A and B are shown apart, each in its own frame.
Chain A
Amino acid sequence: MASLPPTAHVNGLPQALPDDPRRTLLDWLRHDLGLTGTKKGCDHGQCGACTVLVDGRRINSCLSLAALHDGDHIETIEGIGQPEALAPLQRAFVTHDGFQCGYCTPGQICSATALMAELKAGWPSAVSADVAARPNPTREELRERMSGNLCRCGAYSNIIAALEEVIANETTETGAPA
């Protein structure tokens, strides 16, 4: 049986992975696929601007070689929501002015998307008082869990406000704590 070419699914579509083994996941997304919503801020895993979701988990795409993602499902900011149909988090970022220059923003939103799933799954953080207990989405928890995403414009308070609003709305809708 002929082996299939290495392929990853990006925002639901199959995409052939690059030939150059040096190409990072970030450069593949930006350059080969034209998905420039994912940003390069440092290329060293220090700023979080390149955050994407791989099989639902957030990673710094600059620190991962594209060739390692055969069979993976990758979601980028473009998959989270488009201007005419924004996801609740994206809308909340606009309402709360959770950005200024906008360059770190896709990474912040991808990170926050994964963060909400991590809270639901009960993952503790370094500031959780009881690592076995279900985490509460306090501001302290949210700040801790978002600290891999730098924002030089200093929109942090507004980002946390946006996140709090979306978590509160989800809690209201589902009747269960996030």
Chain B
Amino acid sequence: MHLPLSEMYNEPDDRNVLDRMRQGVIGQPLDRPEGALKVSGQATYAAEWRIDGCVEGVLVLAEIAQGQVTAIDRDAALARDGVLAVIADPAMTRRSAQGMAAKAPQQDAAKVEYFGQPVALVVARTFEQARDAAVALRVDYADAAEPVPFDPHAPDVKVEAPSSSKPVEGGDLDQAMRDAAFSVDVEYDTPGHASAAMEPHATIAQWQGDSLILHGSYQMLAYNVKEIADCLGISPDKVRIIAPYVGGGFGSKLGITHEAVAAALAARELGRPVRVVMSRQQVFQTVMRRSETRQRVRLAADAGGRLIGLGHEALVSNLPGEKFAEPVTQATEFLYGGENRLLKVEVARISRLTAGSVRAPGEAVGMQVLEAAMDELAEKIGIDPIELRKRNLPATVPVQGTPYSSRMLTQALEQGAQAFGWSARQDRPCQTRDGDWWVGMGVASAARVNMMVPAQARVTLRADGSALVETDQTDIGTGSYAILGQIAGEMLGLPMARVDVKLGDSALPPGAGSGGSFGAISTGSAVLYACEEIRKRLAKILGCAAEELVLKDGTASHGDAAPRPLRDVLGGEDLTTTGKIKPGKTAKAFSQASYGAFFAEVGVHAFTGEVRVRRMTGVFGFGRVLNAKTARSQCLGGMVWGIGSALTEELAFDTRDGHLVNHDLAEYHVPVHADVPAIEVILLEERDAAASPLQAKGVGELGICGAAGAIANAVYNACGVRVRSFPLTLDKIVPSLPDPFAQTL
């Protein structure tokens, strides 16, 4: 089979090229190459570049939710010590760009659409001067004549069908519910979430003539360049973004946000570099939120426990006109059977900061609810929840008929059950007591769509026999430096010490960017293609076919020929080429997703209702594992997010004035060390040729997709309280707790 080494991915590449290489580094649990820099504080993040003459900008946020800025008291601010400028420019953004927008978000910050929207930037010589002047800046407003509601459930709220997704309809769900031997019809709520990446959004902007250089913290540089350029009305050629280290993103840095544009405008006005770092409170209030959801799930099963109907409808929210609508039912489309179905998302138009992608948009909240509802159905039928899931895996995607590329869900459920000790689970709640704690177990499936996006990477095999991989791909903690180097090392037969990886500079070929779990498979495939081209050229030099070429430990050989050092083969020349890939026919021809299973054991305090996760196991199949250490870490991290989503995380908005009440890390509770028990991660061996020429699929988000469902199910199994509102805080549990003095019920 011959494949073009560029562009559209139209046919599954089942050559499994990486398996035929000899270096033996692909998949290995190698340390991150940038690790020593990160643990010694030498990795440079956005705000940390030393740039001469740089001054400090601090954003000023609106203290009303909806209206118009009528006056800003610039003179009083400028009279303060050290203050250089008060920027309130129509080009300033009032919303953040959505992921892959590649154009400006809503601009003109003088129109206020939500509480905490930026309205101005104060620039001063020092941070303290700018901060204090920003706090003191007087801004006058006129209230909006026709405000939109703050509450997605307000009676006068406008509800729309989103332009970003269409409902899935098949058969007659209502009839299926009537015909069902067993059914559930339940409504769940999930709250808004914050990405809360540890590094706050930050930009240093400097102009060189009419060119702009930004040191920033962003996930998708090629798109971000276009967004910035569009905001400023300049050509993308004139914008360069440098971001070799990004302190977490989780969706919040997919698109540009306010500090970047404000810094660029201020730097242009002042003719000197300007740094703008958002405070933690500003990040919470103005960057991006995951929408809260209200989800109705209907499950209709026949007497054999097979789904004949499935309904999943969700109400989410966003600002008026914003296209993004949390794709809650994304995995429900392909996960379980039930030809009679209705899957639908609607969006309420409200005044809260922009809703957009937060780690695993859609599945993160859709899967945990679907999986909790499946637990309810299993209980009604009286079968093991694992068995219910195994009985309902369709041969092709319901309604659409699309085949699956590969699906390791059954294996994940079975191996997980074994490793976790599922057989010790009690069928009925309140059967296990450990001191003051009810103990229970829960299970959930994991599923997350797999996506490829266009990506390029340049690989150079240098005359000295070392290699350089270059792309604007970012590493936001995901392991891009490690896995891109391992792909090149495997393909070119080089030990890792001889492979350099340069990332995070928009001057380099555009990679996929970090989002949607697609960075590794997209940019990694571009690296693979570039290496294949280099192998062809080496084969030509050696006079053999590329398939005969053996590259190992910096040497080349073929047939019976003795291995020759690459340095000699190259004869003083570099070999360089740029690999490119784009999604093609495989994207539509197959249903592609990563799968897995979560198992959780929790304790519920019999008197207080406090929930503690005691242990978790996650089993995952996402195609080829590129680095078993970083992949495992991605899964671990996702499961920690699952703990947060299940038990602690909730954006709380005041529906009287629209302000975000818990806009910092003391009030928005991400899991801490003490919340996270021993977590076991098992990675399944799999090859998915439809997904990518690497036979790999996405892993970055899979670990969250359903995890909170397993925890909620374990809570029910422990104490018999079914909470249909996440997070499962003790106030929701304690009113329904059984007699705490009974040891079992």
Select which of A38, A81, A106, A147 is within 8 A of B674 by beta carbon.
Answer: A147
A42–B198 Cα distance when bound, in Å, is 8
B245: interface (CB < 8 Å): yes
Asked if B41 and A35 sit within 8 Å, CB to CB, the answer is yes
B589: interface (CB < 8 Å): no
**Complex interface bits, A8-49 against B, C-beta within 8 A gives 1, otherwise 0:** 000000000000101100010011001111111111101101
> Would A82 and B40 be within 8 Å (CB), given that A47-B665, A94-B31 are in contact?
yes
Residues of A close to B246: CB separation below 8 A: 101
Chain B binding surface SS class? loop
Asked if B670 and A152 sit within 8 Å, CB to CB, the answer is yes
Select which of B36, B41, B673 is within 8 A of A76 by beta carbon.
Answer: B41
Binds B, one of A130-138, A156-164, A169-177: A156-164
Which B residues from 272 to 316 make CB contacts under 8 A with A? 277, 279-280
A22–B130 Cα distance when bound, in Å, is 12
A27–B42 Cα distance when bound, in Å, is 17
Asked if A106 and B41 sit within 8 Å, CB to CB, the answer is yes
Select which of B44, B247, B636 is within 8 A of A155 by beta carbon.
Answer: B636
B181: interface (CB < 8 Å): no
A96–B688 Cα distance when bound, in Å, is 28
B518: interface (CB < 8 Å): no
Asked if A100 and B478 sit within 8 Å, CB to CB, the answer is yes
**Complex interface bits, B39-61 against A, C-beta within 8 A gives 1, otherwise 0:** 11111110110100000000000
Total number of B residues with any Cβ neighbor in A under 8 Å:
62
Asked if B40 and A101 sit within 8 Å, CB to CB, the answer is no
A154: interface (CB < 8 Å): yes
Which B residues from 236 to 295 make CB contacts under 8 A with A? 245-250, 277, 279-280
Residues of B close to A36: CB separation below 8 A: 41, 44-45, 47-48
A37–B40 Cα distance when bound, in Å, is 7
Asked if B36 and A86 sit within 8 Å, CB to CB, the answer is yes
Asked if A97 and B198 sit within 8 Å, CB to CB, the answer is no
**Complex interface bits, A71-101 against B, C-beta within 8 A gives 1, otherwise 0:** 0000011101111101000110111010111
Chain A binding surface SS class? loop
B678: interface (CB < 8 Å): yes
B404: interface (CB < 8 Å): no
> Would A155 and B633 be within 8 Å (CB), given that A99-B38, A102-B245, A109-B39 are in contact?
yes
Select which of B195, B630, B676 is within 8 A of A143 by beta carbon.
Answer: B676
A103–B196 Cα distance when bound, in Å, is 12
- Closest chain-A Cβ to B273's Cβ sits at a distance in Å of 14
- Closest chain-B Cβ to A43's Cβ sits at a distance in Å of 6
Asked if B41 and A78 sit within 8 Å, CB to CB, the answer is yes
Residues of A close to B633: CB separation below 8 A: 97, 100, 153, 155, 158
Residues of A close to B132: CB separation below 8 A: 22
Residues of B close to A78: CB separation below 8 A: 40-42
Asked if B477 and A153 sit within 8 Å, CB to CB, the answer is yes
> Would A41 and B199 be within 8 Å (CB), given that A86-B40, A94-B32, A139-B678 are in contact?
yes
A93–B43 Cα distance when bound, in Å, is 15
Residues of A close to B199: CB separation below 8 A: 39, 41, 101, 103
Q: Which residues of B contact A (CB under 8 A)?
A: 31-32, 34-45, 47-48, 50, 126-128, 132, 195-200, 245-250, 277, 279-280, 476-479, 629-630, 632-634, 636-641, 664-666, 670-674, 676, 678-679
